Copies of this chain bind each other. A is one copy, B any other.
Amino acid sequence: MLDAQPGELTERQQQVLDATLELLIENAANVTMIAVARKASCSKETLYKWFGDRGGLLAAAVRYQASKVKVAPFEAEGLTRDKLASILSGFASDLLSILTSDISVALNRLAIAQAHLHAGENGNGENLGSIVLQNGRFSTGPRLKVALEAGMASSLLRQHDSEDAFRSFYGLVVRDIQIRLLLGDTIALSKTDIHAEAQRATDQFFTLYGT
């Protein structure tokens, strides 16, 4: 086998996690160890050897998916209002694209479904909810806050707690979309819809926090 660094995943292991994610998207209730083994054409024993137990497999799948959606950080040099607006609007588009994707809905549902478990109750010891939060909200937030603080330093935005400003922007972008999707409502957002929503949220944000 192609050996990998500790914490890294071999090609084959990634195939297994891809199969897990596929299964998760089509029906979360069908993600059993035997189903994953069949879909990935591997044995259950291998699953347990690689991932410890079911919780470890799911955690690995969530982390693996998160590692695929890393986006490039933006540079805050020579910031103009148009440039900041473009950064915000781009961020909003990305966020909406991700949150409305099948894979995001499925992963959030999975994480929410067992978010009540205390750490250590599952094999991996870490809660899926906190993994999703760490790689989602708590990862994108600070990245955008850099841009917001640069905007304040350039007097494009009024002085304000950047965390609070980010949260309001988040609300303006997401509104009730995510919770409705999670609850099973079917909202179709086209590419142009997402772009329009991102633009609206950005305009409203400047109205509230701009100079």
**Shortest Cβ distance from residue A128 to the other chain B in the assembled complex, whole angstroms:** 8
How many Å lie between the Cα of A112 and that of B109 in the bound state? 6
Q: Which residues of chain A from 152 to 191 have a CB within 8 Å of any chain B CB?
A: 167-168, 170-176, 178-180, 182-185
Q: Which chain B residues lie closer than 8 Å to A129 at the CB level?
A: 182-185
Q: Which residues of chain A from 183 to 211 have a CB within 8 Å of any chain B CB?
A: 183-185, 204, 207-208
What's the number of copies of this chain in the assembled complex? Answer: 2
Knowing A112-B182, A183-B112, A208-B208, say if A137 contacts B170 (CB, 8 Å): no
**Shortest Cβ distance from residue A161 to the other chain B in the assembled complex, whole angstroms:** 12
Knowing A27-B116, A109-B116, say if A175 contacts B183 (CB, 8 Å): no
Q: Which chain B residues lie closer than 8 Å to A180 at the CB level?
A: 133, 137
The answer to whether B116 and A113 touch across the interface, beta carbons within 8 angstroms, is no
Q: Which chain B residues lie closer than 8 Å to A111 at the CB level?
A: 183
The answer to whether B133 and A185 touch across the interface, beta carbons within 8 angstroms, is yes
The answer to whether A116 and B29 touch across the interface, beta carbons within 8 angstroms, is yes
Number of interface residues of A (CB under 8 A): 38
The answer to whether B175 and A171 touch across the interface, beta carbons within 8 angstroms, is yes
Chain B: which residue is nearest A106 at the CB level? Answer: B116
How many Å lie between the Cα of A133 and that of B172 in the bound state? 20
**Shortest Cβ distance from residue A108 to the other chain B in the assembled complex, whole angstroms:** 7
Binding site for B on A (CB under 8 A): 27-29, 106, 108-109, 111-117, 127, 129-130, 132-133, 137, 167-168, 170-176, 178-180, 182-185, 204, 207-208
6 tightest A-B CB contacts, nearest first:
A129-B184, A113-B113, A115-B184, A171-B175, A171-B171, A129-B183
